[in-house]
Structure 1
Amino acid sequence: MRAIRCKTYGPPSNLKLEEIDSLHAGPKEVVVQVKACGLNFPDTLIIQGLYQFKPELPFTPGSDIAGVVKEVGDGVTHLKVGDAVFGFVAHGGLAEEVIVPRNACFLKPPQMDYPVAASFMMAYGTSYHALKDRAKLMEGETLLVMGASGGVGLAAIELGKLMGAKVIAAASTQEKLELCKEYGADEGINYTTQDLKSTLKELTDGKGVDVIYDPVGGDFSEQALRGIAWNGRFLVVGFATGDIPKIPLNLPLLKGASIVGVFWGGFAMKYPKENMANTMTLMQWHAEGKLKPHIHKIVPLEDAKEGLEEMMNRKVKGKMVVQIL
């Protein structure tokens, strides 16, 4: 089978498209013939050796997948060969086949095509777990979404509105903010031209925001935290800038605020029943037309490197998808 391989840490241009051996399912595993793989910003960090975990070299990047079950291992009862599915893996998705743990593989709704299915789980699973389970976002609260035009950011905007929050989107260009408003954001902040802290105060009549959703990291994290409300919750989702911020701990103390980690992949593995319940809710909302991933572009496997390059250079709004025929 064909697969994108990372043999040395570095930029996307280092990746190679190669023929490797076909895969076989072990116990509690499913082999999926991949039809589409959604790219996520962490993929650009993993191939550079900058992510929280470093797969053993060589490896195949890619986490968000959709396809058809080719083989099931012992202990898999909810799926059979030929089922259309979607799911997630730590890595391995940018290939014609991938091994998926049974509790991370779900039947694909018939109305959801493969590129959409491959754009769904990581973005919406992460964002719903963050807002529902970690922040316990309440109707009427104010939510700030950082990096709001990315895949998880747009998902957080949609979900925040569905949960009854006022949503403020923060992004780096006016074009990106326009897309955020199409997805339901009530207000927008261009944090390359506007001061984040003072603008948050203006937009909330001095109160600050109740929940901050931050997949960006870097210098903007502290600026956002300085605009949090009393008893606010700061969600640590990721570090798209590549820089892990060092937060002065007097800031949460002065606001009675909480800094809350969000590791959706770990939650999904440790609490599969709870994750399944969240997934069913998301599937229902999608079926009702309330959630719609924004697909920036669909490229073939041969162009996966260029797709990752665009993502790394902050040119992607929503999701970049690799289609594998």
Structure 2
Amino acid sequence: MKKVISFNKIGGPEVLEFQDIEEPKELKADEVLYEVKAFALNRSDWLLSAGLHYTIPNLPSRIGSEASGVVKALGSSVTKFKIGDKVSSIPFFTTEYLVHGEIAVTPEKYLVHCPENLNFIESTSIWMQYMTAYYPFVKIAKIKKNDVVLIGAASSSASLAAIDIVKSLNGLVIAATRSEKKIDKLKEYGADEVINTQTENLSDRINNITNEQGIRAVYDPIGNPFYQQYLDVLQSNSLVFHFGLLSGESIKIDISRHVRTNSYLLPYSLFNYIREENSINEGIEYIKENISKNIFKPKINKVFSFGESIKAYEYLMEYDVFGKIVVEIKN
């Protein structure tokens, strides 16, 4: 028997539990079974168990979208991997292939070889955040030199990766945070300017920083009231990528203010951009290249043991998390 993390009712970390399951004896043609060595936590995992994610869980349900480990068995049509390979999962839209536990099964399409210069803990800490930031800035907005991008909740793993992506395109980053003590660290991680939204007027500071030229794009995992604070400093043809509700308050779209600035709001999800193989492979190659050059690096906040998995999810809910939370499994 193998232990996995699962939930039988909707709720927060308190509904999570260890469950014993049988190791699969048969795989579908495109499936890969692997022994998990580490898995990473994302707020979207918690939203799934809380019933707040656009993916609706089928109860009882496993949890988790990112894991790394060693291949144990292959479906009949799998060609990219062999038994013993070190692999990591790419998060995608699914209620079936959830991965937090001692074993996981993932379709070949959503599995990659671990980068040679990263260990299991690091390898499971890159794909959700870097892939999420890749499509808005590289493929959609096509950020270029000196374009100014506002990144909300800047100390989250998703936003830290966004800083790296924008800087790789020679853009300029304004990072927003509610914590004075995070400012120096965000600058160390590449932000050109940091605004404390608790003590400073966001739009006034942006006008000051940009000489009233405004911002080219916004990476918004927060919702209101953050959304309302930057609407008047958007450039013409600017893009707002809205992909989260950290505030717990949905955006009420202000059509008039978008019309005045000729700006656009895109309800964004990584999952909509990795359905096609060509699209997912473009993202993977861009990230792997920058990982291999040490331009992109995992930013890990804390590592828990497998027995502390529920505690890791409780820690995920804390305000001061800066980077990725990982659980290591020492089989």
TM over 0.5: yes
Counterpart pick for 1:52 among 51, 54, 64: 54
1:322 Cα deviation after fit:
0.9
Q: C-alpha displacement at 1:210, in angstroms?
A: 0.7
Q: In 2, distance between residues paired with 1:109 and 1:96?
A: 21
Kindly state the Cα deviation for residue 189 of structure 1 after the two structures are TM-superposed.
0.8
| Stretch of structure 1 that moved more, 101-110 or 217-226 | 217-226
Of 308, 321, 325 in structure 2, the residue corresponding to residue 316 of structure 1 is: 321
TM-score, normalised on structure 2?
Answer: 0.94
Aligned match of 1:195: 201
Q: Secondary structure at the match of 2:137?
A: helix
Distance 2:248 2:32 in 1: 32
Identify the residue that residue 265 of structure 2 maps to in structure 1.
Answer: 259
| Bigger mean CA offset, 168-177 vs 217-226 | 217-226
Q: Return the alpha-carbon distance in structure 2 between the equivalents of residues 201 and 297 of structure 1.
A: 36
After TM superposition, the score normalised by the length of structure 1 is: 0.95
My pick for the range that moved more, 63-72 or 83-92, is 83-92
User: Alignment partner of 1:305: what SS?
Assistant: helix
Matches within 5 A, 1:188-267: 188-267=194-273
Q: Identity of aligned pairs, percent? A: 28
Deviation string 1:231-266 (CA, Å, 9 cap, x unpaired) is: 211112222233321111112211111212322123
Q: Does structure 2 conserve the Cα–Cα contact (< 8 Å) formed by 1:8 and 1:57?
A: yes
- 1:6 aligns with 7
Q: Number of residue pairs matched?
A: 324
Classify 1:75/1:226 alpha carbon distance in 2 versus 1 (closer, same or farther; 3 Å): farther
Which letter does structure 1 place at the counterpart of 2:157?
G
Structure 2 counterpart of 1:124, which letter? Y
Q: Give matches, 1:285-324, under 5 Å.
A: 285-324=290-329
Equivalent residues of 2:232, 2:261 under 8 A apart: no
Q: 1:39, CA displacement in angstroms?
A: 0.6
Counterparts of residues 121-160 of structure 1 (less than 5 Å): 121-160=127-166
Q: Is the 8 A contact 2:115 2:291 kept in 1?
A: no
Any conservation in 1 of the 2:214–2:233 contact (CA below 8 Å)? yes
Matched, 1:118 2:120: no
- Measured in 2, the distance between the counterparts of 1:183 and 1:25 equals 42
Q: Pick from 262, 283, 286 the counterpart of residue 278 of structure 1.
A: 283
Partner of 2:17: 16
- Shift in alpha-carbon separation, 1:244–1:27, aligned structure 2, 3 A: farther
Return the alpha-carbon distance in structure 2 between the equivalents of residues 129 and 324 of structure 1.
31
Q: Which amino acid aligns with 1:76?
A: V
Contact 1:222 1:247 in 2 (8 A): no
Runs of 4+ residues over 6 Å off in structure 1? none
Q: Secondary structure at the match of 2:63?
A: coil
Match of 1:75 in 2: 77
Query: What is residue 191 of structure 2 aligned with on the other side?
Result: 185
Offset, 1:197: 1.9
SS at match of 2:219: strand
Partners of 1:151 and 1:131 lie apart in 2 by 16
Separation in 1, partners of 2:159, 2:66: 16
8 Å Cα contact 1:225/1:234 also seen in 2: no
**Contact conserved, 1:45 with 1:242, CA < 8 A, in 2?**
no
User: Shift of the alpha carbon at 1:177?
Assistant: 2.4
Aligned counterparts of 2:277 and 2:247: Cα–Cα separation in 1 = 30
- Counterpart CA distance in 2 for 1:240 and 1:58 is 26
Q: Which of 87, 90, 93 is residue 85 of structure 1 equivalent to? A: 87
Instruction: Give, in whole Å, the separation in 1 of the partners of 2:102 and 2:86.
Output: 15
Deviation (angstroms), 1:145: 0.6
Mean CA deviation greater in 89-98 or 155-164: 89-98
Q: Provide the C-alpha distance between the structure 1 equivalents of 2:65 and 2:301, rounded to a whole number of angstroms.
A: 17
Do the aligned partners of 2:217 and 2:238 also contact (CA within 8 Å) in 1?
Answer: yes
For 1:53 and 1:243, the matched residues in 2 are separated by 19
Q: Distance in 1 between matches of 2:301 and 2:256?
A: 40
User: What is the 5 A alignment of 1:23-34?
Assistant: 23=24, 24-34=26-36
| One-letter amino acid of the counterpart of residue 23, structure 2 | S
Tell me by how many angstroms 1:207 deviates: 1.6
CA distance in 2, matches of 1:93, 1:124: 19
Going from structure 1 to structure 2, the CA distance change for 1:222 and 1:95 (only over 3 Å counts) comes to same
* Rounded Cα–Cα distance in structure 2 between residues aligned with 1:195 and 1:7: 44
Q: Is residue 149–residue 177 contact of structure 1 (8 Å, CA) maintained in 2?
A: no
What CA distance in whole angstroms lies between the structure 1 residues aligned with 2:156 and 2:321? Answer: 7
Q: Whole-Å Cα distance in 2 between the matches of residues 178 and 25 of structure 1?
A: 49
Q: Is the 8 Å Cα contact of residues 49 and 57 (structure 2) preserved in structure 1?
A: no
Distance 1:56 1:84 in 2: 29
Counterpart Cα distance in 1 of 2:182 and 2:52: 26
